[in-house]
Structure 1
């Protein structure tokens, strides 16, 4: 999918430092001070236009949410949703998930969400998939012991690959759904893509995977 560049997006993001955190490396090990509480931190990588975290932060005010999105023009859409809301438990990082170890120390994150990530279907691009073992190694370093990844996608091939990747890494799988919206699961918050795809009758695949304690 081609992304439309919005002129001045990065400068606009900088105008809201209480929502889009500038230089997040300075908070490594002290995110609880930024949020001014000791609530658990849940992170979404590739947060897109922010619909998922906006919904989650409203439903779970006792959880701190951080969305990581490297494309400033996309993150600007998330900012537009949040800047008029009173949502102190929601922050965004205009950063690349590949740098996640620069922003969090071991045990700072309790749960990580990966929603509708680029499937990178060609074999030569395997290392770019956000469920590739190289990324799992990084996630494990910042999650609490026994931390969880919650994963959703519309892409069956990526889902099958991810299940194998999680299991191959020694993670345990829970609540695996091959058709999320017909599974009866409660409390599901949809992303922009999820709403679009499900409205067309497409299956949504979901699973929860847990690292070793």
Structure 2
């Protein structure tokens, strides 16, 4: 592990907005009341990386609470540090394996879930690890409130198509689907937030896929 990674891991251990709950006490069902100390809606970004979406959404919607979730602490460090430096109090980061998501959030506790440029897990043998595979969709259904939405942004056409097919198979509701977000009518202020990786893809003229769906 490089020196920068070691330093960042050490720093996030002292960040008030970073929790590493696989090693501590779960906050299931208590995020708004106990951690954020309000009754605002809760929004998650899964596989958040450097947390660009989490931080930008928090700035746009100060009346909501946002949690970026990833297992790689050296990535979380960037978003957490930005939130601290800019005094963004409605942001937290949670370092856990996403497979353990349901252990940390209660039924109906979450209003929205964002999945932004996840690892597409292209091998057939790794389909179950895709964040829109049925095993993960089952988790999202539990923690989302009735009518809660899931958003997927990805540069990977195959992951987008796979997800759309699964939604159809499972009878879920697709609200928006586009294979070219920035040449569509849907590219509003929220969907135009760009992550580090998205900027790289756009420089190479890669199309960006977007799906919004729910379980009702």
For normalisation by structure 2, the TM-score amounts to 0.91
Of 180, 196, 208 in structure 1, the residue corresponding to residue 212 of structure 2 is 208
What is the total number of aligned residue pairs between the two structures? 209
For normalisation by structure 1, the TM-score amounts to 0.92
**For residues 4 and 100 of structure 1, what CA distance do their matches in structure 2 show?**
30
Q: Deviations over 1:66-119 (max 9, x none)?
A: 010101111122223222011111100011111111110001001001111111
**Which sections of structure 2, spanning at least 5 residues, go unmatched?**
none
Matches within 5 A, 1:24-35: 25-33=25-33, 34-35=35-36
Matches within 5 A, 1:1-80: 6-16=5-15, 18-23=16-21, 25-33=25-33, 34-80=35-81
**For residues 139 and 4 of structure 1, what CA distance do their matches in structure 2 show?**
36
CA separation of 1:4 and 1:165: change in aligned 2, threshold 3 A: farther
Supply the RMSD in Å over aligned alpha carbons: 1.7
**For residues 145 and 79 of structure 1, what CA distance do their matches in structure 2 show?**
30
Q: Deviations over 1:100-139 (max 9, x none)?
A: 1111000100100111111111101101100000000111
Aligned residue in 1 for 2:198: 194
**For residues 75 and 26 of structure 1, what CA distance do their matches in structure 2 show?**
19
Deviation at 1:206, TM superposition (A): 0.1
Matches within 5 A, 1:141-180: 141-180=142-181
